[in-house]
Structure 1
Amino acid sequence: MDAKGFEVRFISELKGRGVFANKSFKSGDTIFEELPVVCCQFSWNIAYKYAACNFCMRPLETTQDNVRRLSGQKALVLPYPECCPTDSSSHAGQTDGLEYCLESVPDAAWRQFHQTLCVGTEADCQSHPLQRLDEAWRQMHFPPETASVMLIAQMIATVRQAEDPEAAINILSFCHRSRSEEQQLAHKLLGDQFTSQVDLLRQLLIEALYADCVQQWLTPDGFVSLLALVGTNAQGVGTSPLSMWVSRVAALPLCPEDRANIDTFIDGLYDTLHEEGGVAEVGQFLNNEGAGLYALQSRCNHSCRPNVEVTFPHNSSRLVVVATQDILPGEEVCISYLDECVLARSRHSRHRLLRENYLFVCTCPKCELEAGDPDETSEESDNDSNSSEQD
């Protein structure tokens, strides 16, 4: 990996592996790009008619169709249609109710997992155990979603279709935790009805996808391990024909008057979508939302002062890790497992969330520097209390 400017190194039994720079990077440089091992759209996002390729998450709606649907304004006309990122001619159509784009090549999905996940005709789909699995998951996880059981289904299907199933399992083995840690993470993902929910999901997966090569994942302990893996390693993926259209419009060489007019139009459009249109009524979705498992990105450790960020500039599931500051050779490449607003909170709050969701205590430079700070502020206590009550 030296030629790429980074390498994966073993750090310790506690931290496992990490990604380290082998050369200097400037802020804004791309560290690496990566396609997911598996990736899928969230179940509720699909249910609310957010059209994305089932293989690469690329949007399948034009920007105008997207904002018409979300705003409820069927006659809305977007200016600068040439900035729309969706080429309707690249839409390959549906396969068993799942949509694909030509750029992703439906054959690639078929070769990796779709042959196993194929549910046949629409009539067959209604009673298929995979459909019942998806419905059961939706009833357990109302928006906002952070994972999907269909990601696990894709993992199982990928192993079943692999020429070397054992090698495929090794690729998908992102982390190793104790049984008690895995139980804790799975319980966090599924909530108070943990035991009955785990058993229902596992039985439906067995009915739909059992094979000898994946039997270790379908035992009670093996399935809990998969839930823990997805809960801690799934990377959120968001794509949007609207955001890409906005970015392309921003790059147009417009005169000041035209720039002011389009900026006003875009601000008004977002206000409509958030306050008056359909977004408020469909789970607060604005984008196509899903999750993926990335072999290299999953090796990047957390820091409360990260030096890189995960981006999706291709408007698909292709992940790009970009430096947010200068990085010297030998420095570890660190992302944040927490969102930006949480990173601004106290060390105590960050540690609490990291312990609850990832089962570790952060010892990054920022946390070490703040070791003597008060445990929490009153404002954070109120927010935490309100969040607990909502949960």
Structure 2
Amino acid sequence: MTGYEVRNTNGKKGKGLFAIKQFNKGDVILEEDPLVSCQFAWNAAYRYMACDYCMRPLETPEQNVRRLAAKPDIVLPHAGNFEADLMNVNSCGQCESLYCCEDCKQRAYNSYHRLLCYDQADARHPIHILLEAWKQMHYPPETTNILLLVRILAFIKQHPDPASAAGAIKQFCHRTVNEDAELVHKMLGEQFTDQMKTLRELTASVISGDVVEDFLTPEGFCTMMALIGTNGQGIGTSPLAQWVSYVTELPMSDVEQQQMDLLIDKIYKDVENESGQFLNTEGSGLFVLQSACNHSCAPNAESTFPYGNHRVQLKALKTIMPGDEIFISYLDECTLQRSRHSRQKELAENYLFMCSCERCTSETTQPDVTSEEEMSDEDCDYDD
């Protein structure tokens, strides 16, 4: 029996995820694979090699660090344990898309790839043209990828019951406007009308047909863009982070531990000097259960990716009692530390709601400050 259920909330949030048993701090509430996931377009362009299906990185920690730090002579202790992860790398015989294993290759083919396989060297192919147009409209850091939308449409068309798959996608909350607060998703403002028209036409040139025609009308395409913008869960995987997690758990003396900590600090400094904080394989995915979690600025759960791929794990941050709603934060740790007004602004632009969580309610007397000086990104501790 699962310890959670999706049900209607009492407020305007629609549905939410609720506990039906007690979870203690650190307990795993659920694990879930996405319907589809996709690496960000610029992330791939910057040579972050990843499985085209599950986003598992396709380089060892040592290869990863040497590339990010631009130091080909870096040697990581205990890094050989990760080489076996790349023994089963597979590629599509038609388009040469890479997969971490044969199973991922088959899952991709059965889910969306059969319709989207193309010669990636063909600059005139509709997918290539769409991705290049997207990259010119959305520079890093990206928060989603037009290819995620394309994969959703392919998922519908390839599904054994396309009508059922289309209905499942429509069940996601994908309003483009929050009528109560008159908020419009930032990607859908009037200044982006021409861009949206271009993206819709280019997407329709990639994939179309009866079962997806509702999603390719001007209104339908806007709702799909809002869907991937508001429901797409960010996914980050990192060979370096996996290696750090592994070596810090190894038994060693205090002196060895101190030396290892110094080495790790130096590696991160070398990487940051060369590549900044853009060091993970990043993308987004569409999760059925995880996306049912509503936001709180004082969350009682968090989404993590402990397997180095797109499988999400929802863990309790504090005790959650039966009947409690399970909340996550839609904001990153840095933004979560900012003022109520700054958090509200970010949530309104990206998720179409004004937060009324317990923390926001308790901070209503705060001044309406949105200046970036209150806390710049550099002030935040970076968590890989």
Q: TM-score, normalised by structure 2?
A: 0.91
Which residue among 313, 332, 339 is the counterpart of 1:339? 332
Kindly provide the amino acid, as one letter, of the partner of residue 374 in structure 1. Answer: Q
Which residue is 1:301 aligned to?
A: 294
Which residue is 1:291 aligned to?
A: 284
Q: Deviations over 1:177-233 (max 9, x none)?
A: 26676x9645x1266741111111111111111111100101111100100111111
The answer (yes or no) to whether the contact 2:38–2:52 under 8 Å persists in 1 is yes
Distance 1:180 1:308 in 2: 25
Check if 1:244 corresponds to 2:234.
no
Distance 1:253 1:191 in 2: 55
Which residue is 1:322 aligned to?
A: 315
Q: Residue 123 of structure 2: SS of its match in structure 1?
A: helix
Distance 1:160 1:327 in 2: 39
After superposition, the CA RMSD in angstroms is: 2.3
Which residue is 2:46 aligned to?
A: 48
Which residue is 2:91 aligned to?
A: 93
Q: Per-residue deviation at 1:99? A: 1.0
Which residue among 140, 146, 154 is the counterpart of 2:137? 140
Residues 110 and 357 (structure 1), Cα distance of their counterparts in 2 relative to 1, 3 Å cut: same
The answer (yes or no) to whether the contact 1:63–1:86 under 8 Å persists in 2 is no
The answer (yes or no) to whether the contact 2:177–2:352 under 8 Å persists in 1 is no
Which residue is 2:107 aligned to?
A: 108
The answer (yes or no) to whether the contact 1:39–1:291 under 8 Å persists in 2 is yes
Q: Per-residue deviation at 1:386? A: 9.1
Aligned pairs, how many? 374
Q: Per-residue deviation at 1:74? A: 1.7
Which residue is 2:164 aligned to?
A: 167
Residues 366 and 103 (structure 1), Cα distance of their counterparts in 2 relative to 1, 3 Å cut: farther
Kindly provide the amino acid, as one letter, of the partner of residue 129 in structure 2. Answer: R
The answer (yes or no) to whether the contact 1:85–1:241 under 8 Å persists in 2 is no
Residues 370 and 112 (structure 1), Cα distance of their counterparts in 2 relative to 1, 3 Å cut: same
Q: Per-residue deviation at 1:94? A: 4.6
Residues 222 and 192 (structure 1), Cα distance of their counterparts in 2 relative to 1, 3 Å cut: closer
Which residue is 2:260 aligned to?
A: 262
Kindly provide the amino acid, as one letter, of the partner of residue 376 in structure 1. Answer: D
Q: Per-residue deviation at 1:85? A: 6.7
The answer (yes or no) to whether the contact 1:85–1:244 under 8 Å persists in 2 is no
Identity rate, percent = 45
Which residue is 2:4 aligned to?
A: 6
Q: Residue 87 of structure 1: SS of its match in structure 2?
A: helix
Distance 1:54 1:162 in 2: 19
Which residue is 2:380 aligned to?
A: none
Which residue is 2:223 aligned to?
A: 225
Which residue among 350, 355, 366 is the counterpart of 1:374? 366
Distance 1:322 1:205 in 2: 36
Distance 1:133 1:185 in 2: 24
Which ranges in structure 1 are unaligned for 5 or more consecutive residues? none
Which residue is 1:25 aligned to?
A: 23
Q: Residue 295 of structure 2: SS of its match in structure 1?
A: coil
Which ranges in structure 2 are unaligned for 5 or more consecutive residues? 378-384
Q: Which of the two has greater helix per residue? A: 1
Segment drifting more, 90-99 vs 231-240: 90-99
Q: TM-score, normalised by structure 1?
A: 0.90
Distance 2:177 2:301 in 1: 32
Q: Residue 20 of structure 1: SS of its match in structure 2?
A: strand
Residues 192 and 179 (structure 1), Cα distance of their counterparts in 2 relative to 1, 3 Å cut: closer
Distance 2:142 2:189 in 1: 13
Residues 136 and 162 (structure 1), Cα distance of their counterparts in 2 relative to 1, 3 Å cut: same
Q: Per-residue deviation at 1:63? A: 1.1
Residues 176 and 69 (structure 1), Cα distance of their counterparts in 2 relative to 1, 3 Å cut: closer
Which residue is 2:269 aligned to?
A: 271
Distance 1:236 1:9 in 2: 24
